[in-house]
Amino acid sequence: MLPQIAAILLLGLQLADSAPNDTSKTRFCVYVDEWHQTRLPDLSITKGINCVIMAFANSTLFTTSPAGNFKPFMPVSDMRARFEPSTKVMIAIGGWGDTAGFSKGVVDEASKQRFAKNVGDMLISVGADGVDIDWEYPGGNGADYKTIPNSQKAGEVEAFPLLLSKIKDTIGKDKLLSVAVPGKEIDMIGFTPATAPKIWQCVDFVNVMTYDLVNRRDSMTGHHTSREGSLSAIKKYISLGLETRKINLGFAFYAKYFSTAPASNCATQPISCAMLPLEQENGLDSSKSGVVTFEYRNLVPVPNNLALSSSGNCGADVNAKCSNGACCSSDGWCGNTIQHCGLACMTGYGNCPGVSASASYQKALKYGQTDAVQGGQYYWDSEANLFWSWDTPELIAQKFEKIVTPLQLGGVMAWSLGEDTFDWSHLKAIQKGIGAI
């Protein structure tokens, strides 16, 4: 009997040690999103990842009684099979542009209780280990900020920690609760000296989105995920009472590009150089900026044996190009809209009538420069008038040396796993950084 008891106790200790909120083990969380599933890795690649966050469930599903039906883009059991057995699998609710359900969920006591109950029921029904609340953002500055002004969302600031408290009480200590929070200080409306400590008390850890630090609402070029910009964001949250052991530093598996003004001085000053208006008057994207991931389809040379697409799909993943003068979008679809034929057009897989970000991206990777002071990689394409910003494995290492290790952060996270499929170099850099702690 004694050996059996000892074995049970040992198993319990091993399971506890594997938990992503355990202070003795560095968290390594990765988001896996429904839009980048083509070449998801298996156990041979995912070593060390102890937290997976499947994105997204729409927030409005949790505002009604009964709740709306949520079906993950992949069964949780199938997702688990790609990682080590002890890895926690969570569900993210929200994401960019999805604020309506949260706003409705914090209206009153009954709405908070209903939202929390529905979240708890969902976790049980899909077999997940926790939930990540990705509200962008409580208090405003979300995708709808031009149609619903921040003044109409002021009440969300005090209501947010109350909602989180309800969720944690409902799901209990056996389930994880995390939040994704902005890295850009202007968007930290919901994180005040009064409310932030209440938020931290409710959650097991915090995923700081230390990327998109320059976005389409800015007017001057800059690094979207630099070392110093990331450090500044982390220090801001620490000043708001967030324990370092609860912080996950965020990494982006994509580059960003921004259209610069033709008459700007980017040739002599590529950083802090004037950009074109990147957002329409109504707050929608002007299609003059965007992202390019580190995926296989974006980095592999264009094959010589492409077939003509018969399904409407195009790109390296399907080895097909568009016919009849159609353009191939960055999402791999043939068409003739600005989303297909504008900056996001994939050179070599169809017609690209103007400047193509995919062609410029290859130049950026070849001729990119490192800003040693700020810790960011960049390139200005004078022919395309595009400014590029991204992270390299070397800069990821610097973030461990200058941020994660000295500040004793609890962990890291990355958006998103399926965006680094070309050679997994960014994922491997994070694995190496964690291994050195």
pLDDT digits (tens, 9 = 90+) for 128-184: 999 999 999 999 999 999 999 999 999 999 999 999 999 999 999 999 999 999 999
Q: Which whole-number Å values give the CA distances from 336 to 329, 341, 351, 354, 409, in the listed order?
A: 9, 6, 9, 13, 47
Contacts of residue 65, Cβ cutoff 8 Å, sequence gap at least 6: 114, 118
DSSP 306: P
Reported as a single tens digit per residue, the pLDDT across 304-339 is: 999 999 999 999 999 999 999 999 999 999 999 999
pLDDT of residue 9: 41
Long-range contacts of 71-75 (CB under 8 A, 24+ apart): 72/126, 73/34, 73/37, 74/37
pLDDT of residue 19: 53
Contacts of residue 148, Cβ cutoff 8 Å, sequence gap at least 6: 140
Q: Residue 181 corresponds to which tokens in the numbers above?
A: 């929070």
Q: Which whole-number Å values give the CA distances from 43 to 39, 40, 52, 79, 82, in the listed order?
A: 13, 10, 13, 11, 5
Low-confidence stretches of the chain (pLDDT < 70) are 1-19, 21-23
What's the CA gap between 293 and 255, in Å, rounded?
Answer: 6
What's the CA gap between 39 and 389, in Å, rounded?
Answer: 24
**Domains of the chain by range and CATH?**
18-253+393-435 (3.20.20.80), 289-386 (no CATH)
The bridge status of strand 254-259 relative to strand 386-390 is antiparallel
Q: How many CA atoms lie within 13 A of 382 on its CB side?
A: 6
In DSSP terms, 28 is beta-bridged to 412
Which of 27, 124, 24 minimizes the C-alpha distance to 70? Answer: 124
> Is residue 67 within 8 Å of residue 61, measured between CB atoms?
yes
pLDDT of residue 21: 63
DSSP 187: G
